[in-house]
Chains A and B, each alone.
Chain A
Amino acid sequence: MAPRTSPARGRTDARLAVDIGGTFTDVVLEHGARRVTTKVLTTTRAPEEGVMKGVAEALGLAGLKPGDISLIIHGTTLATNALIERKGAKTAFITTEGFRDAIEIAYENRFEQYDLFMVRPAPLVPRRLRLTVPERMTAAGTAHLPLDEAAVAALVPTIEKNGIESVAVGYLHAYANPAHERRTRDILAARLPELSITLSSDVCPEVREYDRFSTTVANAYIQPLMARYLGRLDADLKRAGFDCPLYRMMSGGGLTTVETAIANPIRLVESGPAGGAILAAHIAAECGLSQVVSYDMGGTTAKICLIDDGVPQHSRVFEVARQYRFLKGSGLPLLIPVIEMVEIGAGGGSIARVDQLGRITVGPDSAGSEPGPACYGRGGAEPTVTDADLVMGKIDPARFAGGTIALDARSAEGAVQSGVGKPAGMAPAEAALGIAEIVDENMANAARVHAVERGKDLTGRTLIAFGGAAPLHAARLARKLGIARVVVPTGAGVGSAVGFLRAPVAYELARSRFMRLKDFDAKAVNTLLAEMRAEAMGVVRRGAPKAKLAETRTALMRYTGQGHEIVVPVPARPLSAKDADALRSAFERAYRALYDRVIPGGAVEILSWTLAVASVQARPRRAAPPRSHYTPKPQSLRGVVDPETGRLARIPVYWRSELRPGARIRGPALVAEAETTTMVTGDFDAGINALGYVELVRKGQAKKTAKKTGRSGKGA
């Protein structure tokens, strides 16, 4: 799977990507070697308006007409926001009699052990709209109780009376046999042709009823909204004269067609961050780096993702709308293919405080963009990470965000002093250093635990930093993680949209089918995988009719008696009885990679299978090292508290726009640009590589890193 070039070719190579975020809609247009970017405000009520405005601006800047565009790719937080803000359709849930509370009872747990006043997220469908039907499948997929068809038909008046727009159908063990769900859909569709209907056996045919039902209900909840929006955008684009293919970015990092997006809008959740990870994977390939950490830090959160050999880590489950300090368990689980990343409540706007132990804490709550950090001068009184960065001297108050927001250094210092310095008994500079160090440590801890959970090591990797706040903190984070090299790409402010342009057309499916390895049934597995392959191929071919396709298969396996499956690679070919042994060895290899051991004599079982199909694309050519090196002159000197030493020093400031490939800078230094500033701490040196990216290398480590990451040339 090497996601690269464009999925389809039009008459020119001009391609557009649009990422609708909460605040801004980013548009990127690539035409040959040229790239044009624009940012417009998101028009929340009718997002297509912002899109059309941004697209028109980008076309104007590039001097192109709608007819010149060969492809449009589009990602949006609309689906996520509808779930967070509970602004979806009026939805009913039809389930097996006896189980109407499964989506509310959830895991029966408290995600915060010590909080007596904890509240669990309310389900998307209230109890009175959770309707039940007598029917029951067993785990083996045989009908223990036949579907009561009359009971299904009898629900029609209730659906009508309550003005229901969308219905989720989730029956127990429907992943093993979807017959009852499909029959239910047919009965309802015949009587209510306008009704949106989502089946659990379509959306995520996987075992574990709460997770599956939660996904099904969420899909039903956002389906009408997303279908209307996607339809309107499609019409607006056609009217404006675009006649190229339109793709949607999915949470798993692949592109899909509008039909698939309309049927499965839940797969569009978190597409923006996925674009960021795809971009990082692309940069890794350009720089010839096999193992990287993608690090995206914006205003409210930081996202960290591990990428090996150009492929970001994937996961089968994502939790959306965490409502309690980003805690695991405080949101709604979705069984969808996602690029796996750890998200930490640590951004430029994260608020710092002192707790009852006298410890500095940062986040997870954020001052957002309104009122924003104290230094924005819009009424924010609590100190934030950006305020701390400003007090430490890392940010030039006159040039923040390209000079669009003049920062007020005195407000920042006042907020840092009253919110942290005074209660902790520290001077403002010390308090600011403490805030920065704690937020960096929080990110480092989260990254470390994330890597361990995946059986991965962080040392020896390269950190790829983008998003407005990441370059300010990347060196320090790298140091804490034992990472010796950092890359800060250009255009980091619209990273997700750029990433969309590098994504393959792809689709991933998962099916549960329980099987003990000692009873391995190759024929049944082959039948199942062939069905899955046909379905995935069908979806991908619609978007990439001629591209070469690659297929990836995995089995989700565990020792009998355990509760968590691990992902085991499976060859993409028909299996035979002999493959049972190979599966066991592959399982043991994967288990050992995660836990450093195997269980001698332990029986092994398979719960589910996954299959992904993606268009194969050429890897980008690896950039050559700069031909010559030079030492640039600093623009100015500025007093900065170096977080590495904790001391104030006057350090050189460089303008990134004036640096050429081959530039070499000794840390400590600052490399400033319109959207962000790269802090080069004293333990790092910096350079500009042939692509114009800033590269930080830990002092004394240049050779070692080059070896580990397989770089040959001299590097920056």
Chain B
Amino acid sequence: MKQDEVPQDGDNLHQGTFKQIMYAVDNTGNYVQVPSSGWEPENVALGQAWEEVNEKVKNALARVHAGEISPVAYYMEKTLMDLPLLASYVGKFQWQVKRHLKPEVFKNLSQKMLSRYAAAFKVSVAELIQPA
């Protein structure tokens, strides 16, 4: 990659504030550091990953309101966690967390367990029970 080929495809993903360093060859064939404001293929891939996340979060919220899943399932998507990760944050086995994804199990959770989930998701217990 030549110095003048270093991509400068900035977009709102970087919020215009963040430049990466890339290594490229200058006119004399020597490697130099060149700041880059982003690259189209990476932006596409990153944007797509977020689109997937946002869609899952939206679906999860709708299902919480429909009473199909518990708020834990929604916040798990929202904080980009999966079952093993969430289980280790709240100090439970995966099968236990899996049960807590059901609304009928969730409504019987103790205050202590609720506050553990709230802490893992960085929300208050009230927000946990009633996701907006």
Decide whether A and B assemble into one complex: no
Q: Which B residues fall within an 8 A CB radius of A?
A: none
Q: Which A residues fall within an 8 A CB radius of B?
A: none
